[in-house]
């Protein structure tokens, strides 16, 4: 166990608790075992989020937990603070939720009742959005915005996808055209689109299945955004499943069982999800495996952008 982890645990009165490293990217996450239950200790990547954003995430989680949404509950440190500092890093402690990930990226789904799970995921997503709309945000609440600027503006949340340095001239031109058209379409549709707080990263790994229960984790990239972006994200990496149409129908039906949803612009948001990865990978391009991942992201985005432009804006 590193000195930083030991110092962080001491702030929660858990200096003697065993901690096992689980994952590391935006956060270094450790599973902490205590007689009171397990927790996730998260050491934040310096500079990825401001202090105000990090605190807002914890306030958000606490509010959703209180509203009955299945999310991790933040744990105050001995000082009473939800967010503490170790050296140059900010740290927090949240509840460890039981369950196994819905699936793994690029691996076939292995669910006994995949449509049933996706219906529950749609309903859980709607419950989250309902809870977010009902919650009165505290003063100073600050999160990123997956709005028009955050998706296709000069500085998108996950980076300027059309400037990915590995793009060939043809693909760069395609992404620039898509960006221009997507901006016009979003400007035209914005007033009719449901907008509020969203998770923004409901990929398979961030949805835990525990018997009949579904739980959502990893709100690092959550913020203000179009609700269709959450729906598109949940569908995006399942597009090549043999039963994708059934899964999509189930997810939308589950959502609509709790909340209305206009899916007219869903294909646009699936394409926007695809290009977001092309921007996200750029500062991580030197990480192990990122070269192949970058090529997959570009290929996915190229196909979806081309398809969207052909169907909605034929030459």
In a domain, 130, yes or no: yes
Specify whether 87 is located in the same domain as 136. Answer: no
Closest CA to 216 of 53, 61, 74: 61
Higher pLDDT, 23 or 315: 23
Specify whether 38 is located in the same domain as 121. Answer: no
Of 19-33, 110-124, 207-221, 258-272, least confident by mean pLDDT is 19-33
Specify whether 139 is located in the same domain as 82. Answer: no
CB contact at 8 A, 10 and 3:
no
Confidence of residue 130 (pLDDT cuts 50, 70, 90): very high
In a domain, 103, yes or no: no
In a domain, 107, yes or no: no
pLDDT at 1 over 70: no
pLDDT at 47 over 90: no
Confidence of residue 187 (pLDDT cuts 50, 70, 90): very high
d(CA 31, CA 22): 7
Q: What is the largest CA-CA distance in the chain?
A: 66
In a domain, 56, yes or no: yes
Specify whether 80 is located in the same domain as 117. Answer: no
Confidence of residue 3 (pLDDT cuts 50, 70, 90): confident
Q: What is the CATH number of the domain that holds 202?
A: 3.90.1200.10
| Non-local CB neighbours of 80 within 8 Å, separated by 6+ positions | none
Specify whether 151 is located in the same domain as 299. Answer: yes
Question: Which of 96, 121, 144 is at the close of a domain?
Answer: 96
pLDDT at 217 over 90: yes
| Torsion sign, CA atoms 176, 164, 107, 103 | negative
User: 125 vs 70, 119, 142, CA distance in Å?
Assistant: 10, 10, 21
Of 113-127, 141-155, 278-292, least confident by mean pLDDT is 278-292
d(CA 252, CA 63): 25
Of 15-19, 59-63, 110-114, 243-247, least confident by mean pLDDT is 15-19
Specify whether 73 is located in the same domain as 144. Answer: no
Rounded to an integer, the average pLDDT of 92-117 is 95
Q: Return the pLDDT at 84.
A: 96
Specify whether 17 is located in the same domain as 162. Answer: no
Specify whether 28 is located in the same domain as 138. Answer: no
Confidence of residue 121 (pLDDT cuts 50, 70, 90): very high
Give the residue ranges of DSSP H helices in the chain: 3-11, 51-66, 114-134, 148-152, 169-189, 227-236, 244-256, 266-280, 290-312
pLDDT at 292 over 80: yes
Beta partners for 216? 207
Domain extent for 85: 3-96
d(CA 147, CA 190): 9
Of 20-34, 63-77, 106-120, 182-196, least confident by mean pLDDT is 20-34
Specify whether 261 is located in the same domain as 293. Answer: yes
Q: Return the pLDDT at 314.
A: 85
Closest CA to 90 of 130, 55, 132: 55
In a domain, 168, yes or no: yes
Q: Return the pLDDT at 63.
A: 98
Specify whether 156 is located in the same domain as 269. Answer: yes
Count of structural domains within the chain:
2
Task: Note the pTM of the prediction, 2 decimals.
Answer: 0.95
Structure tokens at 4: 């930083």
Question: Which of 65, 96, 127 is at the close of a domain?
Answer: 96
Closest CA to 203 of 308, 262, 129, 273: 273
Specify whether 89 is located in the same domain as 118. Answer: no
pLDDT at 128 over 80: yes
In a domain, 104, yes or no: no
**How large a percentage of the chain has pLDDT more than 70?**
99
pLDDT at 167 over 80: yes
Specify whether 163 is located in the same domain as 82. Answer: no
In a domain, 156, yes or no: yes
pLDDT at 55 over 80: yes
Q: What is the CATH number of the domain that holds 26?
A: 3.30.200.20
In a domain, 102, yes or no: no
Question: Which of 96, 121, 146 is at the close of a domain?
Answer: 96
Neighbours of 167 (CB within 10 A): 20
Q: Return the pLDDT at 255.
A: 98
């Amino acid at each position: 166990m590193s000195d930083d982890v030991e110092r962080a645990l001491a702030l929660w009165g858990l200096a003697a608790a065993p901690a096992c490293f689980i994952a590391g990217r935006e956060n270094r996450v450790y599973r902490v075992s205590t007689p009171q239950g397990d927790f996730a200790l998260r050491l934040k990547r310096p500079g990825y989020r401001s202090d105000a954003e990090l605190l807002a995430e914890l306030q958000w989680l606490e509010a959703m937990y209180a509203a009955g949404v299945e999310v991790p509950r933040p744990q105050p440190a001995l000082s009473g603070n939800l967010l503490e500092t170790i050296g140059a890093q900010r740290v927090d402690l949240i509840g460890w939720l039981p369950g196994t990930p819905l699936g793994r990226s690029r691996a076939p789904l292995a669910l006994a009742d995949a449509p049933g799970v996706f219906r529950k995921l749609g309903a859980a997503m709607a419950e989250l959005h309902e809870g977010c709309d009902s919650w009165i945000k505290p003063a100073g609440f600050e999160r990123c915005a997956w709005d028009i600027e955050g998706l296709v503006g000069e500085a998108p949340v996950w980076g300027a996808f059309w400037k990915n340095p590995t793009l060939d001239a043809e693909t760069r031109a395609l992404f620039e055209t898509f960006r221009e058209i997507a901006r016009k379409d979003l400007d035209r549709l914005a007033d009719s689109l449901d907008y509020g707080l969203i998770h923004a990263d409901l990929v398979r790994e961030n949805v835990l299945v525990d018997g009949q229960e579904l739980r959502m984790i990893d709100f690092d990239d959550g913020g203000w955004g179009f609700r269709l972006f959450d729906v598109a994200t949940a569908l995006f990496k399942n597009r090549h499943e043999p039963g994708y149409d059934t899964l999509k129908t189930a997810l939308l039906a589950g959502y609509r069982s709790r909340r209305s949803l206009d899916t007219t612009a869903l294909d646009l948001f699936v394409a926007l999800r695809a290009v977001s990865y092309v921007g996200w990978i750029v500062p991580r391009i030197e990480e192990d495996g990122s070269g192949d991942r970058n090529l997959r992201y570009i290929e996915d985005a190229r196909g979806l952008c081309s398809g969207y432009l052909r169907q909605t804006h034929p030459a």
